[in-house]
Amino acid sequence: MRPAALFLSILFPVLLAACGERKAALPAAAAPALAGKEEGGTVTAVPAPLPPTPEQLEARAAALRERAVLMHAIFGENFNPAANEAPMELGEPDEPGVRMYTIEPVAHAFLPNGDAALVANALVVRAERDGIRVHTDGGLLNVFILRKADGRWTLLRHHANIARLGSWERIGTAKFMRLAPGKTGLAMLYGGAFQGYVDRYLSLYDLGAQTMHDLTGAGIAVSASALACQPADTETCYDVTSGWRFALSASGAAYNDLVFQFRGQEDSKKDVRRKGGEGPRLASDITRLDGCARYAYDGKTYVLVEGKNLAKNH
């Protein structure tokens, strides 16, 4: 019997060049790290990443100092630098009334026009919380746009509780990138794990929009795994990951196209191979997954225009 650990530990290198391009592609926006590779039936571990250099550590510390300045500009004395948070009263998404939240800064960037964008998570204040977060609840995405005048930052716009993303009441990872010429965007990578199933999604936002919303609609699946799956069980075991990047719009849309390269494997064929009490024949049940998908902006949201999203299928 092929062990479940071996089945699920194999991740494939992301070869984005395999996807056909009709226009020149922009630099890669993201690629997953490899957990290991299979050579002659043996799983070879990928070397651990090198520790950060002194220069990298100083850059991180400088970023935290910049973020603290922006938080203080927004919240004044209400900002607690030791806890790196501030209280704020906000409307509850899709609910009447307001509630008290704790604003937690996540990332920031300085835009081409000199403004600053601060991405933060809003955590609802609960008397009984005691440091505990709800696993099945996402965080609330907030974006603050600040402008500097006479040497001081002032709040220009606050996009409050834009969307609920992720799990454990956290919004995930923020990345800043170019959505199109002259348009700086925010990419949010988030997901969750529940009963052994792990999913990860991508959402995009235009930082220059007067009203920010998810340009992907409800997120695009970028990976999916069944980590707790046992190959001998009747359920399908799978592990799909992807790399993604922007490519110049083939239709002249307001935003660049998104191109994905998916790699993975599943054992869905075992269901049709069962014969009486023999059980699954795992060695011949594994299907390698390999494919591309291209999304284009149609004026309202990103839609699939080529290929298939192999992560979404699971």
Confidence (pLDDT) at 76: 96
- Output 132 or 303, whichever has higher pLDDT: 303
Q: Is the pLDDT of residue 38 over 50?
A: no
Q: Is the pLDDT of residue 144 over 60?
A: yes
Q: Is the pLDDT of residue 11 over 50?
A: no
Helix/strand/coil (H, E, C) string of 253-266?
Answer: CCCCEEEEEEEEEE
Q: Is the pLDDT of residue 293 over 70?
A: yes
Q: Is the pLDDT of residue 164 over 50?
A: yes
- Output 35 or 66, whichever has higher pLDDT: 66
Confidence of residue 267 (pLDDT cuts 50, 70, 90): confident
**Tokens linked to 210:** 């007067």
Which are the contacts of 37, defined by CB distance < 8 A and separation ≥ 6? Answer: 10, 11, 13, 43, 44, 46
The phi-psi region of residue 310 (left if phi > 0; otherwise alpha if psi is between -120 and 50; otherwise beta) is alpha
Average pLDDT of the segment spanning 307-312: 94
User: What pTM does this model have?
Assistant: 0.81
Confidence of residue 285 (pLDDT cuts 50, 70, 90): confident
Confidence (pLDDT) at 193: 83
**Tokens linked to 204:** 């995009």
- Give the Cα separation of 142 and 268 in Å (integer): 40
Q: Label the pairing between strands 257-266 and 238-247.
A: antiparallel
Helices (H), the chain: 4-9, 54-75, 270-273
Confidence (pLDDT) at 306: 96
**Tokens linked to 212:** 């920010």
Contacts 24+ apart (CB under 8 A), 142-145: 142/90, 142/103, 143/117, 143/118, 143/119, 143/186, 143/205, 143/207, 143/212, 144/70, 144/74, 144/117, 144/118, 144/120, 145/115, 145/116, 145/117, 145/118, 145/207
How many CB atoms within 10 Å of residue 73? 18
Confidence of residue 36 (pLDDT cuts 50, 70, 90): very low
Confidence of residue 28 (pLDDT cuts 50, 70, 90): very low
- Give the Cα separation of 285 and 278 in Å (integer): 14
Amino acid residing at 125: V
Q: Each residue of 208-265: pLDDT tens digit?
A: 999 999 999 999 999 999 877 877 676 788 999 999 999 999 999 999 999 999 999 9
Q: Each residue of 55-86: pLDDT tens digit?
A: 999 999 999 999 999 999 999 999 999 999 99
**Tokens linked to 11:** 């991740």
Q: Is the pLDDT of residue 3 over 50?
A: no
The whole-chain average pLDDT of the chain stands at 82
Q: Each residue of 13-26: pLDDT tens digit?
A: 334 445 655 443 34
- Give the Cα separation of 312 and 124 in Å (integer): 30
Name the DSSP class of 277: T
Q: Each residue of 180-220: pLDDT tens digit?
A: 999 999 999 999 888 788 999 999 999 999 999 999 999 99
Q: Where does residue 83 rank: exposed (0-12), middle (13-18), buried (19+ CB within 10 A)? A: exposed
Q: Each residue of 88-135: pLDDT tens digit?
A: 999 877 777 888 999 999 999 999 999 999 999 999 887 776 677 766
Tokens 């190959």 belong to residue: 231
Per the CB < 8 A criterion, the answer to whether 255 and 226 are in contact is: no
- Output 82 or 2, whichever has higher pLDDT: 82
Confidence (pLDDT) at 35: 32
Confidence (pLDDT) at 43: 40
Q: Is the dihedral of CA 309, 199, 241, 17 positive or negative?
A: positive
Name the DSSP class of 156: E
Confidence of residue 49 (pLDDT cuts 50, 70, 90): confident
